[in-house]
Amino acid sequence: MKMKPFILLPVLCLVLNLRSPGQSFFTITGSSNLFISSGSTINMNNLVLVPSAGYNLVAVTTTLNSAVTHPYTTGTPILRSYLFSNTLPAFSGTISIYYNTSELNGLTASTLQLNGYTTTWNQYISTTGTNVATASGLSSVAFSELTLASSSTPLPLTWVSVNAYFDNGRNNVQWTTANEVNCKDYQVFKSFDGKSWQTAGFPVTALNELGPNNYSWIDSTDAKGLIFFRVRQSDLDGAYSYSITVTLKSTPAVNIMVYPNPSSNQLLVSSGDATLTFKQLRIFDETGKLVSQTGPVNASQYSLSIGGFASGAYHLFIQLSDGTTATKTFIKN
């Protein structure tokens, strides 16, 4: 039987199934669709859409998060974002985001502007009220994430990369930044469900240089399994931003081997299990710069060519098909 679309008539429609940050709260599955007629209002957990032309939502899951998922470096976002499982169809009309005062992230409410992400973040002129910012007159705007951000307090920091790996019985987090100005420190946060976060260890003092700046942090605990990590950067004036979230599944029982070590030409990598293949192989030099990347590889053994590398120490990041990760250090002679 063919699924009929649900048509929203031009009256106020409130979707009141509120959820906590990190939880999906609005899902359209299969061949179902939600058609919003022109002038109608739909409220999805304080994200309010009023299309100026008929708008059709299909096959999408919406998640409320307490931080943006796509890296944001041109301003300061509030601690509320709406992430969509795919880029929505082009939208015309009005979009409002209501927020709690505690989510302002140190910003002045009157400076907030609607921000939408497609391949980059785009800012749209907005008017502000009590705990709300509204962008009107939008025309054919497509987005996969929405948030509010300040137009007047840009952060100079650029997040270059963030990685997590398991090595020598410990969880490790490495990150690289650039354009550090007025930076105070970095704090690693970890979570076992991607929703509830806790600080991990002591803050790492910022170098405050143009970069690239390489940082690393080692977990003093022996926590295993699937762990989520993210890094918060704080400025001297109290502003801060979060890196992307990375995951680590540590299973140290796997006997990953890298040999011969040292090596001058070829480096053989073995997962130690014929059923485990390589999802990703990445080589970093001593400064943390990525110098080689391979994967996926449908084999449990693989030979890496390192003949063109300069002599010195390198770090091989390994991710297996089951999610297991490890980092091995080798010497190129």
Query: Total structural domains in the chain?
Result: 3
pLDDT at 232 over 60: yes
Task: Examine the domain organization and report whether 32 and 121 are in the same domain.
Answer: yes
Residues 72 and 45: beta-carbon distance below 8 Å: no
Task: Examine the domain organization and report whether 131 and 11 are in the same domain.
Answer: yes
Task: Examine the domain organization and report whether 168 and 220 are in the same domain.
Answer: yes
* pLDDT tens digits for range 163-214: 887 777 678 899 988 878 778 899 999 888 777 888 888 899 999 887 788 9
| Burial class of 130 by CB neighbour count within 10 A (0 to 12, 13 to 18, 19+) | exposed
* Single-letter amino acid, residue 63: T
Q: Is residue 1 part of a domain?
A: no
pLDDT of residue 32: 76
Q: Which residue has the higher pLDDT, 60 or 128?
A: 128
pLDDT at 4 over 60: no
Residues 216 and 200: beta-carbon distance below 8 Å: no
Among 215, 250, 285, identify where a domain stops.
250
Distance CA 256, CA 320 (A): 10
Range of 165's domain? 158-250
Helix (H, G, I), strand (E, B) or coil at 109: helix
Mean pLDDT of the chain: 82
- Dmax (CA) for the chain in angstroms is 73
Among 191, 216, 250, identify where a domain stops.
250
Task: Examine the domain organization and report whether 115 and 168 are in the same domain.
Answer: no
Task: Examine the domain organization and report whether 180 and 296 are in the same domain.
Answer: no
Number of Cα atoms under 13 Å in the Cβ half of residue 97:
26
| Rounded to 5°, angle at Cα 232 from 134 and 117 | 35
